Amino acid sequence: MMKSWISILLLTLCSFSSVQASELNLVSNTGTNIAAVTLEQLSQLPQQKFTIELPWVKGQHKFIGVKLTDLLSSLNIKNVHAVRLTALNDYTSEISIEDITQYQPIITYKMDGGMMTVRKKGPFWMLYDLSKYPDLTSLKYQSHMVWQLKSIQINPND
């Protein structure tokens, strides 16, 4: 009987954590929650498909995702100076609005036809389409390509 209860509890916890991991949180610079965006919501936005090679995974990979600018527009977020990306391990990186506008970073959630798991750098990975912008291989731009992305902090203009 005790084994059954433990099994049920573990299944419940695993289900809960997978639901939570499938949301991308957008927060203000004061920490206020703006939105928790689901995979379903992202899939309703215009999709970007591209194939690139990255230093962190071997070979060419096909990615599907959404431009950060499209997500911000869909949530009516304006007056942005920069965004701060935070990964599951609390790694952070900041992207200026100039780089966002010029290079159109993409929040990817599919790699090679499958949903990206945490083990495969998901569920969200901010990437640049290096097939369009091959010069973005410097450490500055590599640092923007945050995998296991959990939140995007919106930093407004002063």
What DSSP string runs through 107-136? EEEEETTEEPPGGGT-S-EEE--TTT-TTT
Segment 12-44, tens digit of pLDDT: 444 444 434 589 999 999 989 999 999 999 999
**Does the pTM exceed 0.75?**
yes
Segment 52-104, tens digit of pLDDT: 999 999 999 999 999 999 999 999 999 999 999 999 999 999 999 999 999 99
Looking at 3.40.50.720, 3.40.50.300, 3.30.420.40, 3.90.420.10, the CATH number of the domain 24-156 comes to 3.90.420.10
Q: What is the DSSP letter of 105?
A: -
